[in-house]
A and B are shown apart, each in its own frame.
Chain A
């Protein structure tokens, strides 16, 4: 099984450009998440989707939008990229809700905003 697949793995943007990070899972999980990882900051939740058709803000949602396209796919969009959004982004999924079940992470998307 592929698990959680993220694309692209690397991206360089200029300030003000937009882009979408794609995520898909093949485990029939209900919940999906987007985290960002910065040096010395751990993992911080951007947005999550507890089930198909629902999305909620996490700890650091400003500057991002998400779409839960269907049960498999959850995309993260940066409408106008800023240098502060330079980070490694991880998509994750879980069978149960976010509080009680194992999160399965993708391999990450490294984004640099110049």
Chain B
């Protein structure tokens, strides 16, 4: 089945710097790659996603890139702000499943981003 590796596990940057989080996946059939942000005491929230028919997607200060050949995708945050401090999770869909009728998302283990003012 699908396996998603996420690096680094912690990342500390100065306000205004850029932050990059990288993920690799194992199943070449995966075609949907979302990123979730989890603030302290809250549930994860989708911030951006990308599908396998595009290589890059941007939304203001956030961008995601996808390299299907290498099976890796990355989250880029520019001009970081203290409110970007959170845990970020990448995920990949798993067309294979655990015995049910549909595949599911497989999450990376998360990156704790700290933005220092």
Contact A58 B46 (CB under 8 A): no
B11 CB, nearest partner CB in chain A, Å: 15
Contact B44 A99 (CB under 8 A): no
Contact A105 B44 (CB under 8 A): yes
B103 CB, nearest partner CB in chain A, Å: 5
Contact B104 A48 (CB under 8 A): yes
The 8 A-B pairs at the shortest CB distance, nearest first, are namely A56-B100, A105-B43, A99-B93, A42-B109, A42-B107, A43-B107, A102-B46, A98-B104
Find the A residue at minimum CB distance from B92.
A99
Contact A56 B107 (CB under 8 A): no
Contact A92 B43 (CB under 8 A): yes
Contact A99 to B108, CB < 8 A, known contacts A59-B98, A90-B43, A105-B43: no
List chain B residues, Cβ under 8 A from A54. 101
Contact B98 A98 (CB under 8 A): no
Range class of the B interface residue count: 20 to 34
Please list the residues of chain B having a beta carbon within 8 angstroms of any beta carbon in chain A: 6, 9, 32, 34, 36, 41-46, 49, 89, 93-95, 97-110
Residues A55-112 near B (CB distance < 8 A): 56-59, 61, 90, 92, 97-100, 102-103, 105-108
